[in-house]
């Protein structure tokens, strides 16, 4: 019988760092998820004005939103995305989508116009993704009437500020390749922000190993955050 290989000191140290790193990531995520309102500290994110229009932003857990708001969000997503989902590998599964959107981990950033009509939302989560503490943006959806006014960009910036203030390592999101406006949106951000913007995440599928996939995973790193301390 072969002898079990002995762990070298270096391997033991690496394992310790990995184990405690994951615990630290989970702690940061748990802390973020305990917030009543992760946007509370950012008064300037509560209001966005463009083209003479005023939008009010709010951040809440899905479990605290009225059913009417969740229904509105689902209908907007359906209007914007069903067609695209049906054309790609994901397909459109209404029950699975509703379950995802009302998961206990789900947070919502919503935007309301001055007539109190909801016009945009982002479903996002604080979560551990491949061992990293991240803010994962599941959806960013605007009603057709309020697009190209900078609101999408403003909402994404709001997510970034919340994420980075809560020491998340990055903001991660998925973009369908067959959604040219969304691809143009992120390309524009890269042009205006340079390297400090969204780039292909390490977890994005690679053609060599994963074959042709319909989506990209993009992320923006928290440059200000130092390494976590290992206890
Ligand atoms: C994609 C989306 C979130 C963008 O939000 P938005 O508020 O319309 O975008 P912004 O006004 O902040 O756009 C910022 C820049 O992105 C680029 N851009 C945005 N939409 C674009 C489009 N349809 N075509 C080309 N460029 C676009 C432009 O350069 C724009 O700047 P400009 O208007 O000064 O030229 C919005 O169009 C939307 O909700 N689409 C439907 C849902 C969807 O596809 N969501 C997926 C997001 S991953």
Averaged pLDDT for residues 39-45: 97
How many structural domains comprise the chain? 1
In 3-state terms, what secondary structure has residue 229?
A: coil
pLDDT at 5: 45
Report the sign of the C-alpha dihedral through residues 152, 153, 154, 158, in that order: positive
184 lines ligand 1 (CB under 6 A): yes
Residue 62 DSSP symbol? G
Residues composing the chain: 231
pLDDT at 225: 73
Indicate if the pLDDT at residue 19 is higher than 80: no
| 47 Cβ neighbours under 8 A, 6+ residues apart | 54, 55, 56, 57
More confident residue, 1 or 84: 84
**Ligand 1, atom 15: nearest CA belongs to which residue?**
185
1 falls within a domain: no
Banded pLDDT at 2 (limits 50, 70, 90): very low
In 3-state terms, what secondary structure has residue 35?
A: coil
More confident residue, 6 or 199: 199
pLDDT, averaged across the chain? 90
Residue 144 DSSP symbol? G
- How far is 13 from 19, CA to CA, in rounded Å? 10
Domain with residue 41: its CATH number is 3.40.630.30
Task: Give burial (CB, 10 Å; 0-12/13-18/19+) of 213.
Answer: middle
More confident residue, 72 or 211: 72
227 falls within a domain: no
10 falls within a domain: no
Indicate if the pLDDT at residue 24 is higher than 90: yes
The parent domain of residue 204 ranges over 16-221
Q: Report CA 97 to chain centroid distance, whole Å.
A: 16
56 lines ligand 1 (CB under 6 A): no
66 falls within a domain: yes
State the CB neighbour count (10 A cutoff) for residue 221: 18
101 falls within a domain: yes
More confident residue, 74 or 230: 74
pLDDT at 13: 52
178 lines ligand 1 (CB under 6 A): no
11 falls within a domain: no
pLDDT at 200: 93
pLDDT digits (tens, 9 = 90+) for 104-160: 999 999 999 999 999 999 999 999 999 999 999 999 999 999 999 999 999 999 999
77 lines ligand 1 (CB under 6 A): no
Indicate if the pLDDT at residue 231 is higher than 80: no
9 falls within a domain: no
Banded pLDDT at 194 (limits 50, 70, 90): confident
């Amino acid at each position: 019988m072969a002898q079990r290989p002995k762990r070298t000191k270096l391997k033991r140290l690496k394992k310790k760092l990995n184990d405690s790193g994951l615990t630290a990531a989970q702690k940061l995520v748990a802390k973020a998820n305990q917030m009543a309102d992760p946007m509370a500290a950012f008064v300037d994110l509560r209001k966005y004005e463009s083209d003479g229009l005023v939008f009010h932003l709010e951040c809440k857990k899905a479990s605290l939103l009225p059913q009417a708001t969740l229904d509105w969000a689902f209908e907007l997503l359906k209007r914007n995305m069903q067609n695209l989902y049906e054309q790609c590998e994901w397909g459109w599964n209404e029950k699975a989508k509703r379950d995802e959107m009302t998961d206990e981990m789900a947070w919502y950033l919503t935007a309301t116009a001055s007539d109190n009509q909801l016009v945009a939302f982002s479903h996002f989560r604080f979560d551990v993704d491949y061992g990293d503490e991240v803010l994962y943006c599941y959806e960013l959806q605007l009603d057709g009437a309020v697009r190209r006014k900078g609101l999408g960009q403003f909402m994404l910036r709001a997510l970034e500020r919340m994420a980075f203030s809560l020491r998340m390592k990055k903001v991660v999101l998925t973009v369908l390749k067959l959604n040219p406006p969304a691809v143009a949106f992120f390309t524009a951000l890269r042009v205006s922000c340079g390297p400090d913007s969204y780039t292909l995440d390490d977890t994005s599928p690679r053609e060599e190993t994963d074959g042709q996939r319909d989506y990209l995973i993009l992320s923006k790193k928290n440059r200000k955050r130092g390494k976590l301390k290992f206890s």
